[in-house]
Amino acid sequence: MERIRLFSVIAASGAGGAEQVFATLLQGLDPERFEVVVACHGRGSMAETYRRHAAQVWHLDLVDLRRPRTITRLAALMRESRCDLVHTHLWTADVLGGLAARLAGIRRVVSSVAGAYFLPVGVSGVKRARRQGLSRVFRAIYRGCDRVIAPSQYVADDLLTRPGVRVPHTRLCVIENGVDVDDDDRMARYAGRAGSVGRWGEGCPRISVVANFFPIKGHEFLIRAVPAVLAAHPDARFVLAGEGESRAAMQALSDRLGVSARVTFPGEIPDALELMRASDLVVVPSLSEGLPITLVEAMALGRPVVTTGVGGIPEVVDDGVTARVVPPRDPEALANAMLELLADRTLADRIASQASVVARERFSAGRMVRRTQELYLGLHAG
């Protein structure tokens, strides 16, 4: 059986949600049906996983859109690999990879959209004006794709209806992100690495957030909720794992609020699963989300979750059944939900147990991989 040659372009290789979803897909593709070449940005912690499951991995600058040579280089690599299909992940890869595919004469192009890109949320001034402009035009690149994959109906609706350039509905499909929290490959990736979170302390409530630091992730409102939690649980510990542009500002905010002794910022950690397994609560305080992989992983691990009801999150959880769901930008509501689950372990355990069943059945890695393979095969068959 002739294998389909797939060229994947992803504009990241660190410990982010999109990278983990891509790695899960790469690992799950049937090697008898698909041969994969990867072009990724940088040499982050996920690069080794890419290499383990791809025929070849190229490292390019896939973030700077001002380098036309990147497009010609990508096009040359696509031609050399004699690829049948190109699949791009993350917005700058969608731009550079999509243009390169056209230059290389590749007939079939797929893009995965992680969320509602360029919403003017959590920013102000020049940044907000830039976001508002990009919000109207960024989808133009997807009009050249054969298929655009959204991880939730919310993201699909955003691509279809937000003012400005819109994606034709005939090219859109929804394939929900999948997780495998029992993945042996993922466990082996971090075997022997020293933990970066440190000791929690015996008997203290443990609360974690796993998200890179950007305003849209809502860290500010979680930190503003910390004093109320500490008033009831002075020994509580918060670990906010991730990197990003707003990390320093969030550390400064915790200092100003006088909670820095109870809030840890370990940066990019070896594996988020280890942190979440050790947590009494996992919090997702985002202002917007497509379908956050951290949320689904925490659910699959059987950890109680407090989250905001934004973006695609209401498609994943039911308030009081599989998570506690609160409004965004509301520190008081976040604090009250955390305090409720810390005080009522029976409720927390029931929510966590039901969430684990939902996550493992509906958001399995196998389901995501199977549906993506079916999409590839359908396009290849013409």
Q: How many residues does the chain have?
A: 382
Report the 10 Å Cβ neighbour count for 28: 18
Euclidean distance between CA atoms 39 and 88, whole angstroms:
9
Euclidean distance between CA atoms 226 and 236, whole angstroms:
9
User: Hey, which bits of 90-132 come out as E strands?
Assistant: 109-112
Q: What is the DSSP letter of 45?
A: T
pLDDT at residue 173 in the model: 97
Euclidean distance between CA atoms 246 and 264, whole angstroms:
15
Spell out the domains of the chain, with CATH numbers in brackets. 4-178+364-380 (3.40.50.2000), 193-362 (3.40.50.2000)
Provide φ and ψ at 265, rounded to 5°: -120, 85
pLDDT at residue 1 in the model: 65
pLDDT at residue 136 in the model: 94
Q: Is 44 left (phi over 0), alpha (psi -120 to 50) or beta?
A: beta
pLDDT at residue 269 in the model: 87
pLDDT one digit per residue (tens) for the chain, 382 residues: 689 999 999 999 998 899 999 999 999 999 999 999 999 999 998 999 999 999 999 999 999 999 999 999 999 999 999 999 999 999 999 999 999 999 999 989 999 999 999 998 888 899 899 999 999 999 999 999 999 999 999 999 999 999 999 999 999 999 999 998 877 665 555 444 444 455 566 679 999 999 999 999 999 999 999 999 999 999 999 999 999 999 999 999 999 999 999 999 999 887 789 899 999 999 999 999 999 999 999 999 999 999 999 999 999 999 999 999 999 999 999 999 999 999 999 999 999 999 999 999 999 999 999 999 999 999 999 7
Euclidean distance between CA atoms 171 and 275, whole angstroms:
38
Per-residue pLDDT tens for 216-228?
A: 999 999 999 999 9
- 289 alpha carbon, distance to own chain's centre: 9
* Strand (E) or helix (H) holding 104: helix 91-104
Look up residue 174 and give its two tokens: 């929804």
Euclidean distance between CA atoms 75 and 333, whole angstroms:
50
Report the 10 Å Cβ neighbour count for 357: 13
Euclidean distance between CA atoms 260 and 265, whole angstroms:
9
* Strand (E) or helix (H) holding 89: strand 85-89
The model's pTM is 0.91
